[in-house]
Amino acid sequence: MIPMVDLKRQYQLLKGEIDAALEEVFQGTQFILGPNVSALEAEIAAYHDISQAIGVASGTDALQIALEASGIGEGDEVITTPFTFVATAEVVSRLRARPVFVDIRPDTFNIDPERIEEKISAATKAIIPVHLFGHPADMDPICDLARRYGLKVIEDCAQAFGALYRGRKIGTLGHCGCFSFFPSKNLAGCGDGGMIITGEETTAGRIRLLRNHGSAVRYRHEVLGYNSRLDEIQAAIIRVKLKRIDALNDARRSHAELYRSVIGRSDILLPLEQAGCRHVYHQFTIRSRDRERIMAVLREEGIASAVYYPVPLHLQDVFSDCRLRRESLAQAETCAAEVLSLPMFPELTDEEIRRIGDVIDHAI
Ligand SMILES: *Cc1c(COP(=O)(O)O)cnc(C)c1O
């Protein structure tokens, strides 16, 4: 059996260090906003060469708190992609703002900057580009539009820790970058966790208040906040992996190269790495009209595969009041019908990738 992700292999490799880090947390007993959370915040800020990093309870909370701290609220419109995990738009609705979906580029699966301007209205306050599957969204035109219209850019970096756009780390290109440490992400804990990075001191101050019950001084509450702190145990584990994140992403990148050389079928579209971008392959996602058959043959051979995402957000019941004319987000709908993600994690072996390629090529 070849799974989509095998978290056990990574644990086995890092067991000594992770177990020692956990032992230290248990002995120290500073379980909430302890030394590992502040150390991880400092290390992630340094990694991104940015002044502020604030740990929160999940990637979803990172997005919601970053939006709220950026002044997004009732009646505002937020432009985003329909081809993403639900959390990206869920948080917009949670803040009583409205997600406005813009179609994607079918080659990178990311929001199409050329279609954004026509969706900007007087109520538009922010854009959430998602660096989907580890490939950076096309940030230069997005940030240009945001500057011209005075919009906030909140980057959804949940799938792309360490990805580069024109030599710059994603998460540092907009006003805030939001990360998730969900166990299957490129940089991950063993539970929920998230982080917001920003170069804006005042936004960072608001984020720190919001994540901790609106409080900077114990039992003094300035604003209505959340209980959304990054867990100390997760922070200790994530620090062990952060030291290795570039090597872990490099391993994903070399797996992607091998996939490219072993999948020979001309009717399959392989993922694009745009010039000037460093893709970190959270997913290796192919496209084919023959998807269902390829999936079935892989399953017969004991190889996992998955569809991210089968239903774009503009067609989800939860967003039915944001629904547009059906045909207007055609690229997202076509991709939803044709994409297939293959097993991808740093500890995958060349032998496994060759076997997957072989099965796909013979699945005609
Ligand atoms: C995982 C993910 C999130 C949410 O992160 P959680 O930590 O699970 O809350 C948001 N956006 C995208 C694109 C994701 O993949």
- What's the pLDDT score for residue 326? 52
Per residue in 28-83, pLDDT tens?
999 999 999 999 999 999 999 999 999 999 999 999 999 999 999 999 999 999 99
Task: Kindly indicate the confidence band of residue 327, based on its pLDDT and cuts at 50, 70 and 90.
Answer: very low
Out of 88, 94, 170, 176, mutate this one to test ligand 1's pocket (max ligand atoms within 8 Å of CB): namely 88
What's the 267 CA to ligand 1 centre distance in angstroms?
A: 31
Per residue in 217-231, pLDDT tens?
999 999 999 999 999
How much of the chain, in percent, has pLDDT values that exceed 70?
98
Q: Which domains does the chain have, with CATH numbers?
A: 7-102+109-242 (3.40.640.10), 245-361 (3.90.1150.10)
- What's the pLDDT score for residue 324? 57
Q: What is the position in ligand 1's atom list of the atom closest to the CA of 130?
A: 13
Residues with CB under 6 A from ligand 1: 58-60, 84-85, 87-88, 130, 156, 158-159, 180, 182, 192, 194
Q: Strands 52-56 and 194-198, how do they pair?
A: antiparallel
Q: What is the position in ligand 1's atom list of the atom closest to the CA of 182?
A: 7
- What's the pLDDT score for residue 320? 86
Mean pLDDT value of segment 133-159: 98
Token duo for residue 253: 């990148």
Radius of gyration of the chain (CA): 20
